[in-house]
Chain A
Amino acid sequence: MATYSTNEFKAGLKLLLDGDPQAIVENEFVKPGKGQAFNRVKLRNLRTGRVLEKTFKSGESVEAADVMDTEMQYLYNDGEFWHFMVPDSFEQYAVGEAALGDAGQWLKEQDVCTVTLWNGEPLSVVPPSFVEMKITECDPGVRGDTAQGGTKPATLESGAVVKVPLFVEEGETVRVDTRNGEYVSRV
């Protein structure tokens, strides 16, 4: 069983705490000059996404979480699972709805995503930062209409809805930043 001592703590390190894999977001060393040292740690639960703070006596060891980020290509959805493949090994993984989370709305076949595995099981999926998708539904734009700040909602082929400028039309392909869900440009 791999463990990390508090003096190895740094942002990004993955620990197994309360039965869940958790990533260190922030680690602060606190110590009175003549007293006991502590590590105050902000952790993100990789299963639930919740962030919490924990304090450790410095020098303590904590079990490491067997968590690995792997680049995988999105293949298809069979109605229940989303299937991904490691391009080098052709190894396939089926991801359930809970682990997929919000990433589902940005998935396009062939796109390469980061799949986080915990003990070999998919834990979460991060889509590419930018995706290019076709607009499947959108009202025709009226030039000069700024009633909605110059944007209108558009539905993409994945089902995601983004705000696009009025001049963008149905059937066009647009580039979207998946981190904030914002339209970037026409392609």
Chain B
Amino acid sequence: MSDWRPGAAPARMARARLLAGLRAFFAARGVLEVETPVLGRGAPQDPMLESWEAQAPDGARGFLQTSPEYPMKRLLADGAPDIYQIARVFRAGESGPRHNPEFTLLEWYRHGLDHRALAREVVALIADQAGLSPEWRAPRGCEEIAYAELFQSALGVDPLAADVAALERVAAAHGLTVGGELDRDGWLDALISLVIAPGFPPDRLTILHDYPESQAVLARPCAERPGYAARFELYWGDLELANGYHELTDPEVFRQRRARDIALRRARGQPLPPVDRYLEAALESGLPDCAGVALGVDRLLMQLLGVSRIDQVVDFPWSRA
């Protein structure tokens, strides 16, 4: 049996170099490194994320973080300057060529920036890191496109106006049928992930911005684009690397979205972890105007090294952890 052996030796030096490079990038820009708990008492209600539950010895429930977003926002509401964190995060059930349930997330927040400006800083960070080694790949070019425009140009549909039947027809026209019932957002996700993104040029970065408000998560509503939210995603080729928001600061909107998420979880029979009361209180106290983003470090490393599977950059994936 040799399955005790680490599986990503060729990437090990590169990972150490990248982690040092990320810290140098933020040090040069005066962004403060912080640490927050991996294990929390509450969990996000987002129906698309499943938290991994841990049982405390005294019987209390604990949840491994899916991202350090909530505690980092509590720091910001308390007056913290620009902050970043390189965190270990956990997403139950996510396992595949590009997913490991435990992974490394780089998350950072910038005061006074909106999502578009922060997306450009992510692009600058990637270019900076790609320069750390002459052997690493660097992206060539970056396309910025709004979600609605991408759907229009790639598929000829308006993502907000099209109903489920119309989206299903568009998918079928592109050879995609899906077993199981999908709602509108489900079909939009299917079209992005399985039809549109696979056509992105492999060397190019794509900033996809202004997502439908039904997929806002914690992004504020888009002022200039009704029905959309100030959220972006960054792709390198067809690989999704980062997700960011011009952050929602309105506690009332936060409560409305949380109630919708809980209703969805209940309707789908998903677990209902305890609500994190602290984030709501921090929003009540006042979150400053800021933008935040989370970037998958393992995936960035995959692209810098030109490998296609996450277990090529993770020594001990969950199957052998």
Enumerate chain B residues within 8 angstroms of A55, measured Cβ to Cβ. 176-179, 190, 194
Contact between B94 and A31 (Cβ–Cβ < 8 Å)? yes
Closest to B182 in A: A57
Is A182 on the interface with B (CB-CB < 8 A)?
no
Is B133 on the interface with A (CB-CB < 8 A)?
no
Choice from A28, A34, A40 contacting B48 with Cβ under 8 Å: A34
Closest Cβ of chain B: how far from A130's Cβ, in Å?
Answer: 28
Is B82 on the interface with A (CB-CB < 8 A)?
no
Is B75 on the interface with A (CB-CB < 8 A)?
no
Choice from B96, B180, B190, B243 contacting A60 with Cβ under 8 Å: B180
12 cross-chain CB contacts under 8 A: A30-B96, A30-B98, A30-B194, A31-B193, A33-B233, A33-B294, A34-B46, A34-B215, A35-B188, A36-B189, A55-B176, A59-B180
- Chain B: residues with Cβ within 8 Å of the partner, total of 32
Enumerate chain B residues within 8 angstroms of A40, measured Cβ to Cβ. 194
Enumerate chain A residues within 8 angstroms of B177, measured Cβ to Cβ. 54-55
Is A103 on the interface with B (CB-CB < 8 A)?
no
Enumerate chain B residues within 8 angstroms of A29, measured Cβ to Cβ. 94-99
- Given the contacts A7-B93, A37-B94, A40-B194, A32 and B178 also touching, CB distance less than 8 Å: no
Is A183 on the interface with B (CB-CB < 8 A)?
no
Q: Which of A29-67 contact B (CB under 8 A)?
A: 29-38, 40, 54-60, 62
Q: How far is the CA of A35 from the CA of B48 in the complex (A)?
A: 6
Q: How far is the CA of A29 from the CA of B95 in the complex (A)?
A: 7
Closest Cβ of chain B: how far from A138's Cβ, in Å?
Answer: 46
Interface residues of A (CB under 8 A from B): 7, 28-38, 40, 54-60, 62
Q: Which of B207-260 contact A (CB under 8 A)?
A: 215, 217, 233, 240, 243
Q: How far is the CA of A32 from the CA of B217 in the complex (A)?
A: 13
**A-B contacts, CB under 8 A, total:** 77
Contact between A32 and B180 (Cβ–Cβ < 8 Å)? no
Is B58 on the interface with A (CB-CB < 8 A)?
no
Contact between A56 and B93 (Cβ–Cβ < 8 Å)? no
Closest Cβ of chain A: how far from B290's Cβ, in Å?
Answer: 19
Contact between B185 and A36 (Cβ–Cβ < 8 Å)? yes
Contact between B99 and A31 (Cβ–Cβ < 8 Å)? yes
Q: How far is the CA of A32 from the CA of B182 in the complex (A)?
A: 15
- Given the contacts A30-B194, A31-B94, A38 and B48 also touching, CB distance less than 8 Å: no
Contact between B97 and A35 (Cβ–Cβ < 8 Å)? no
Contact between A32 and B94 (Cβ–Cβ < 8 Å)? no
Contact between B193 and A30 (Cβ–Cβ < 8 Å)? yes
Closest Cβ of chain B: how far from A148's Cβ, in Å?
Answer: 43
Contact between A35 and B185 (Cβ–Cβ < 8 Å)? yes
Q: Which of B167-213 contact A (CB under 8 A)?
A: 176-182, 185-186, 188-190, 192-194
Q: Which of B53-105 contact A (CB under 8 A)?
A: 93-99
Enumerate chain A residues within 8 angstroms of B294, measured Cβ to Cβ. 33
Q: How far is the CA of A58 from the CA of B96 in the complex (A)?
A: 12
Q: Tell which of B95, B178, B182, B186 has the most Cβ of chain A within 10 Å.
A: B178
Q: How far is the CA of A40 from the CA of B176 in the complex (A)?
A: 10
Choice from A7, A34, A38, A59 contacting B190 with Cβ under 8 Å: A38
10 closest A-B pairs by beta carbon, nearest first, are A29-B96, A57-B180, A35-B189, A60-B180, A36-B189, A56-B179, A36-B186, A55-B178, A33-B243, A32-B193
Contact between B94 and A57 (Cβ–Cβ < 8 Å)? no
Q: How far is the CA of A59 from the CA of B97 in the complex (A)?
A: 18
Closest to B93 in A: A7
Enumerate chain B residues within 8 angstroms of A54, measured Cβ to Cβ. 177, 179
Contact between A32 and B96 (Cβ–Cβ < 8 Å)? no
Enumerate chain B residues within 8 angstroms of A32, measured Cβ to Cβ. 189, 192-193, 233, 240
Q: How far is the CA of A35 from the CA of B181 in the complex (A)?
A: 15
Contact between A57 and B217 (Cβ–Cβ < 8 Å)? no
Closest to A56 in B: B179
Enumerate chain A residues within 8 angstroms of B96, measured Cβ to Cβ. 28-31
Closest Cβ of chain A: how far from B295's Cβ, in Å?
Answer: 10
Q: How far is the CA of A50 from the CA of B152 in the complex (A)?
A: 35
Produce 1/0 per residue, B138-173, CB < 8 A to A: 000000000000000000000000000000000000
Contact between A38 and B193 (Cβ–Cβ < 8 Å)? yes
Closest Cβ of chain A: how far from B127's Cβ, in Å?
Answer: 22
Enumerate chain A residues within 8 angstroms of B240, measured Cβ to Cβ. 32-33
Closest to B67 in A: A33
Enumerate chain B residues within 8 angstroms of A62, measured Cβ to Cβ. 179
Enumerate chain A residues within 8 angstroms of B182, measured Cβ to Cβ. 36, 57
Closest Cβ of chain B: how far from A20's Cβ, in Å?
Answer: 15
